[in-house]
Chain A
């Protein structure tokens, strides 16, 4: 009897755990930054795979986030002192993503509960971490960071931007701006029901410089003296060429 019961529990647990699973695809899992790079649109699509027939349950939701590499950022605040505007105080945000986008199939408050947001750091406020700030109104600084980066198109929230058909197929397009920083862009997809996360899928979009851009960047870091010398040589050569060119032109 106990054995039967145990088996039943196992089956029940197993089926509920893998009942709904994310299968996803990306239009590209690599973004190559070339000299003419002018931003890029990434299409994220996928489907919900079901091992059991869809029972009459509350509706599903999808939340997708893309996060660029996290770096510390100093946020400075200006105040008026002696008639001029001076940086008076600053807060160092320990880890702020260079790029962050959140998209959802419905308003975020409906598809994601506060607890799950806290646990998985989904919304912008949660994605930015600042510990050890010694100023009272740290929230103002975080808000300023979000405001400035949003104006630069680096932070974006697109509630309801995911098309979610028949609770099975989902699809959204996220545009990466031209002023993109190199690195691995962590991409997360959450499948939620009544605010709770049912399944999560993680992948990485690699953003990399290629060609001349790559070569110059590496040279500047690995052989800075040669890079600097090359820059000067270029400058002198260009200066001479222009002078000689104009002299010939005049004759």
Chain B
């Protein structure tokens, strides 16, 4: 069934979009990532103009993250104080990120820098996560599944300590603020929610338990993507509500399924899966940069749509 999208001004298959939304929603529920790093390139491939794809996927992420967050709230796996601290950092960061983005845009090449950002961050995060979780899996097999005691490091010696009950942490607010800030900057530049950076940063830098990480990350992502959606809707007019609705319908269903599947799997297995996925997307993007493109020229309509 073909559907004409009013803002994107293209006609696409409605079921294809529902399927894409469902796939990304599932990832959102399972891993706590918004899926922006996946949906945006997929929408490009479906023939949606890049500007519309970026803005609309932000809107879609709000829906799937909210749906997944509700299931996490029901299971009490959201650390709201931690989420708020991350969010404060995140909003400051995304404001900074927009400034950086505009500077890069003025110099051209923003396309390339975004892609390079993706390759570097996805590669690093995915690689680290894969190595670490494979090691953890081996360790848990050897020691018969005994939990590994978290070590104290420099993170625990900073001032402004705060108790995060759900995470079982008593740490300074500075590291989560900084993590939020960094993620906010990257999120604004790369046009994603930032879950794929946030999740490993919370696990490895802050020592938040994996089960709590996902719900908390979702909590933060909702606000960041809602902010991005409003920004795109009011400045570039590139949020396509019909496209968003289709992705959302697929996405919310997928998110529910994903949240269920996520609880059935071991934390290490979840992390390995996410690492493999992140590396796969990274590999695809790296290939695009390295291989000779079939079409050396590309078009860009000036002055926004119409």
- Chain A residues packing against B (C-beta within 8 Å): 33-39, 69, 71-80, 83-87, 92, 141, 144-145, 147-149, 178-183, 209, 212-214, 216-217, 220-221, 224-225, 227-232, 234-236, 238-244, 246-247
Decide if B297 touches A224 in the complex (CB within 8 Å): no
- Chain B residues packing against A (C-beta within 8 Å): 1-4, 6-7, 9-11, 47, 59-60, 62-67, 69-71, 74, 108-109, 111-112, 226, 229-230, 232-235, 237, 239, 241-242, 244-245, 248-249, 252-253, 255-256, 288-293, 295-303, 306
Decide if B4 touches A213 in the complex (CB within 8 Å): yes
Decide if B2 touches A231 in the complex (CB within 8 Å): no
Chain B residues, CB < 8 A from A182: 9, 306
CB-contact partner of A235 in B71, B234, B244, B303, under 8 A: B244
Decide if A178 touches B59 in the complex (CB within 8 Å): no
What are 24 A-B contacts defined by CB distance under 8 Å? A72-B303, A79-B296, A85-B290, A86-B109, A87-B108, A87-B111, A145-B297, A178-B2, A179-B9, A181-B306, A214-B6, A224-B235, A224-B237, A227-B241, A232-B229, A235-B62, A236-B66, A238-B249, A238-B252, A239-B70, A239-B252, A242-B252, A243-B67, A243-B252
User: How far is B245's CA from A242's CA once the two chains are assembled, in angstroms?
Assistant: 13
Decide if A37 touches B4 in the complex (CB within 8 Å): yes
Decide if B62 touches A236 in the complex (CB within 8 Å): yes
CB-based nearest B residue for A241: B252
Shortest distance from the beta carbon of B252 to any chain A beta carbon, whole Å: 3
User: How far is B66's CA from A186's CA once the two chains are assembled, in angstroms?
Assistant: 47
Known: A78-B297, A235-B62. A221 touches B237 (CB 8 A): yes
CB-contact partner of B74 in A235, A241, A247, under 8 A: A247
Decide if A217 touches B7 in the complex (CB within 8 Å): yes
Decide if B10 touches A75 in the complex (CB within 8 Å): no
CB-based nearest B residue for A178: B11
Chain A residues, CB < 8 A from B229: 228, 231-232, 235
User: How far is B235's CA from A228's CA once the two chains are assembled, in angstroms?
Assistant: 10
Shortest distance from the beta carbon of B283 to any chain A beta carbon, whole Å: 14
Decide if B255 touches A179 in the complex (CB within 8 Å): no
Decide if B255 touches A242 in the complex (CB within 8 Å): yes
User: How far is B290's CA from A221's CA once the two chains are assembled, in angstroms?
Assistant: 39
CB-based nearest A residue for B115: A84
Decide if B6 touches A231 in the complex (CB within 8 Å): no
Chain B residues, CB < 8 A from A33: 4
User: How far is B244's CA from A220's CA once the two chains are assembled, in angstroms?
Assistant: 14
User: How far is B64's CA from A236's CA once the two chains are assembled, in angstroms?
Assistant: 9
Shortest distance from the beta carbon of B83 to any chain A beta carbon, whole Å: 16
CB-based nearest B residue for A220: B237
CB-contact partner of B292 in A77, A80, A228, A236, under 8 A: A80
Chain B residues, CB < 8 A from A76: 297-300
Chain B residues, CB < 8 A from A85: 288-293
Known: A220-B237, A231-B239. A240 touches B70 (CB 8 A): yes
CB-based nearest A residue for B226: A232
Shortest distance from the beta carbon of B218 to any chain A beta carbon, whole Å: 10
User: How far is B306's CA from A69's CA once the two chains are assembled, in angstroms?
Assistant: 9
CB-based nearest A residue for B300: A74
Known: A35-B4, A224-B237, A227-B239. A232 touches B62 (CB 8 A): yes
Chain A residues, CB < 8 A from B289: 84-85
Most A Cβ at <10 Å: residue of B1, B3, B59, B252: B252
CB-contact partner of A38 in B11, B63, B232, B298, under 8 A: B11
CB-based nearest B residue for A217: B6
CB-based nearest A residue for B110: A87
Shortest distance from the beta carbon of B17 to any chain A beta carbon, whole Å: 13
